[in-house]
Structure 1
Amino acid sequence: MEVSSKLLQAEQHSHYLDLTTDAAKYRIYLMNDHIVRIRCTFDEQFDDEASYALAMTAWDDKMDGMIEDRRRVEALPAQVEDLGHSLLLRTAQLRIIVHKQPFAIGITDLQGRVLHEDLKERPHVKDNHGRLYHYSCLNDADHYYGFGEKSGYLNKKKRRLRMHNVDTIGYDSEHTDPLYKHIPFYIKFNGETQAATGLFYHNSHDSVFDMGCERSGYWNKYSYFCADGGELDLFFMYGPDIKDVIRHYTDLTGKTIMPTRYSLGYMGSTMYYTELDRDADKAILNFVDKCKAEGIPCDGFFMSSGYTTGEDGKRYVFNWNHDRFPDPRAFIAQMREKGVALAPNIKPGMLLTHPLYAKFDKADAYVKDAAGDKSETDRYWGGQASFVDFTSPAGRQLWKEHLKSSFIELGVTSIWNDNNEYEINNPDALCAFEGEKKEISAVRPIMPNLMAQMAKEAIAEAAPNTRPYIVNRAGFAGIQRYAQTWAGDNNTSWHSLKFNVPVMLGMGLSGVANQGCDIGGFFGPAPEPELFVRWVQNGIFQPRFSIHSCNTDNTVTEPWMYPSYTKYIREAIRLRYQLVPYFYSLLHEASVEGSPVMRPMVYEFQNDPRTWEESFDFMLGGSILVANVLEQGAKTRSVYLPQGSEWINWYTRERHAGGQTIELDVSLDSIPMFLRSGAIVPLAPGLQNIQNDRVEELRLLIEPSENASFVLYEDDGVTNNYKTGDYLKTTIQVESGRETTLSFRREGTYASSVQSVVIELLCKEIAPVQVMLQGRKLPMFLDPQVWAAAEEGWYYDLELRTAKIKYGSGVEADDKVGVRFDVKDLISI
Structure 2
Amino acid sequence: MKVKVSNNLLQVVDGNHYIELLTDGAKYRIYLMNDSIVRVRGTFDEQFAEEASYTLTMTAWDDKMDGMIEDRKRVEALPARYEDAGTHLLLTTKELRVIIHKSPFAIEIQDAEGRVLHEDVKERSYVKDKQGRLYHYSTLKDEDYYYGFGEKSGYLNKKHRRMRMHNVDTIGYDSEHTDPLYKHIPFYIKFNGASQTATGLFYHNSYDSAFDMGCERSGYWSKYSYFCADGGELDYFFMHGPQIKDVVRHYTDLTGKTILPTKYSLGYMGSTMYYTELEENSDQAILNFVDRCKAEGIPCDGFFMSSGYTTGDNGKRYVFNWNYKRFPDPKAFIEQMRSKGVALAPNIKPGMLLTHPHYQQFDEAGAYIQDDEGEKSVTDRYWGGQASFVDFTNPKGRELWKHHLKSSFINLGVTSIWNDNNEYEINNPDALCEFEGDKKEISALRPLLPNLMAQMAKEAIAEAAPNTRPYIVNRAGFAGIQRYAQTWAGDNNTSWHSLKFNVPVILGMGLSGVANQGCDIGGFFGPAPEPELFVRWVQNGIFQPRFSIHSCNTDNTVTEPWMYPSYTSYIRDAIQLRYRLVPYFYSLLHEASVEGSPVMRPMVYEFQADPATWEESFDFMLGRSLLVANVLDKDAATRKVYLPGGSEWFDWYTKKHYAGGQTVELDVNLSSIPMFIRSGAIIPMAPKLHNIHNERIEELHLLVEPSENTSFVLYEDDGTTNNYQNGEYLRTTISVATERNTVISFKKEGTYASSVKRLVVDLICKKIAPVQVTLQGRKLPMFLDRAEWESNGEGWYYDLEQKTTKIKLANSDADMDIAVNFDVRDLISI
Q: TM-score, normalised by structure 2?
A: 1.00
Q: 1:14, 1:182 → 2: CA distance?
A: 32
Counterpart mapping for 1:482-561 below 5 A? 482-561=484-563
Q: Which amino acid aligns with 1:763?
A: C
**Counterpart in the other structure of 2:189:** 187
Whether the 8 Å CA contact 1:646–1:658 is kept in 2: the answer is yes
Following superposition, the deviation at residue 13 of structure 1 comes to 2.4
Which of 272, 275, 287 matches 1:273?
275
Following superposition, the deviation at residue 815 of structure 1 comes to 1.2
Which of 80, 83, 102 matches 2:82?
80
Counterpart mapping for 1:579-598 below 5 A? 579-598=581-600
Following superposition, the deviation at residue 293 of structure 1 comes to 0.2
Q: 2:749, 2:178 → 1: CA distance?
A: 47
**Counterpart in the other structure of 2:709:** 707
SS of aligned partner of 1:710: strand
SS of aligned partner of 2:79: coil
Q: Which amino acid aligns with 1:376?
A: V
**Counterpart in the other structure of 2:214:** 212
**Counterpart in the other structure of 1:200:** 202
Q: 1:5, 1:495 → 2: CA distance?
A: 47
Q: Deviations over 1:468-518 (max 9, x none)?
A: 000000000000000000000000000000000000000000000000000
Q: Which amino acid aligns with 1:750?
A: Y
Q: 1:47, 1:141 → 2: CA distance?
A: 38
SS of aligned partner of 1:669: coil
Which of 224, 227, 230 matches 1:228?
230
**Counterpart in the other structure of 2:826:** 825
Instruction: Verify: 1:142 aligned to 2:144, yes or no.
Output: yes
**Counterpart in the other structure of 1:23:** 25
- The runs of at least 4 consecutive aligned structure 1 residues that moved more than 3 Å come to none
Q: Which amino acid aligns with 2:827?
A: L
Whether the 8 Å CA contact 1:491–1:521 is kept in 2: the answer is yes
Q: 1:825, 1:365 → 2: CA distance?
A: 82
Say what the alpha-carbon RMSD is for the aligned residues: 0.4
Q: Which amino acid aligns with 2:391?
A: D
Once structures 1 and 2 are overlaid, which stretch shifts more, 57-66 or 736-745? 736-745
**Counterpart in the other structure of 1:747:** 749
Q: Deviations over 1:200-225 (max 9, x none)?
A: 00000000000000000000000000
Whether the 8 Å CA contact 1:40–1:232 is kept in 2: the answer is yes
Q: Deviations over 1:115-134 (max 9, x none)?
A: 00000000000000000000
Q: Which amino acid aligns with 1:405?
A: S
SS of aligned partner of 2:828: coil
Q: 2:772, 2:739 → 1: CA distance?
A: 14
Following superposition, the deviation at residue 825 of structure 1 comes to 1.4
Which of 8, 11, 22 matches 1:9?
11
**Counterpart in the other structure of 1:243:** 245
**Counterpart in the other structure of 1:33:** 35
Following superposition, the deviation at residue 826 of structure 1 comes to 1.1
Following superposition, the deviation at residue 737 of structure 1 comes to 2.1
SS of aligned partner of 1:39: strand
SS of aligned partner of 1:395: helix
Q: 2:41, 2:697 → 1: CA distance?
A: 51
Whether the 8 Å CA contact 1:196–1:238 is kept in 2: the answer is yes
Gaps of 5+ in 2: none
Q: Which amino acid aligns with 1:554?
A: N
Whether the 8 Å CA contact 1:255–1:480 is kept in 2: the answer is yes
Following superposition, the deviation at residue 14 of structure 1 comes to 4.0
Following superposition, the deviation at residue 827 of structure 1 comes to 1.4
**Counterpart in the other structure of 1:672:** 674
Whether the 8 Å CA contact 1:145–1:155 is kept in 2: the answer is yes
Q: 1:235, 1:620 → 2: CA distance?
A: 29
**Counterpart in the other structure of 1:329:** 331
Q: 1:403, 1:807 → 2: CA distance?
A: 48
**Counterpart in the other structure of 1:441:** 443
Q: Which amino acid aligns with 1:311?
A: D
How many equivalent pairs are there?
A: 828
Whether the 8 Å CA contact 1:756–1:808 is kept in 2: the answer is yes
SS of aligned partner of 1:434: helix
Which of 392, 396, 402 matches 2:404?
402
Quote the sequence identity (%): 79
**Counterpart in the other structure of 2:817:** 816
SS of aligned partner of 2:482: helix
**Counterpart in the other structure of 2:576:** 574
**Counterpart in the other structure of 1:461:** 463
Q: 2:673, 2:741 → 1: CA distance?
A: 34
**Counterpart in the other structure of 1:419:** 421
Q: Deviations over 1:112-166 (max 9, x none)?
A: 1000000000000000000000000000010000000000000000000000000
Q: 2:287, 2:740 → 1: CA distance?
A: 55
Q: 1:738, 1:219 → 2: CA distance?
A: 58
**Counterpart in the other structure of 1:118:** 120
Q: 2:809, 2:521 → 1: CA distance?
A: 39
Q: Deviations over 1:58-86 (max 9, x none)?
A: 00000000001100000000001000000
Q: Which amino acid aligns with 2:521?
A: I
Counterpart mapping for 1:370-385 below 5 A? 370-385=372-387
**Counterpart in the other structure of 1:759:** 761
Q: 1:14, 1:40 → 2: CA distance?
A: 16
Q: Deviations over 1:708-762 (max 9, x none)?
A: 1000000000000000000000000000122210000000000000000000000
Following superposition, the deviation at residue 692 of structure 1 comes to 0.3
SS of aligned partner of 1:791: coil
Q: 2:178, 2:15 → 1: CA distance?
A: 46
Q: 1:702, 1:393 → 2: CA distance?
A: 52
SS of aligned partner of 1:298: coil
Whether the 8 Å CA contact 1:623–1:678 is kept in 2: the answer is yes
**Counterpart in the other structure of 1:694:** 696
Whether the 8 Å CA contact 1:12–1:80 is kept in 2: the answer is no
SS of aligned partner of 2:172: coil
Q: 1:631, 1:822 → 2: CA distance?
A: 47
Q: 1:142, 1:648 → 2: CA distance?
A: 32
Q: 1:15, 1:123 → 2: CA distance?
A: 24
Which of 281, 286, 289 matches 2:288?
286
Which of 580, 602, 605 matches 1:603?
605
Q: 1:78, 1:400 → 2: CA distance?
A: 43
Q: 2:171, 2:416 → 1: CA distance?
A: 24
**Counterpart in the other structure of 2:773:** 771
SS of aligned partner of 2:226: strand
Q: 1:146, 1:13 → 2: CA distance?
A: 33
Q: Which amino acid aligns with 1:13?
A: G
Q: 1:173, 1:522 → 2: CA distance?
A: 13
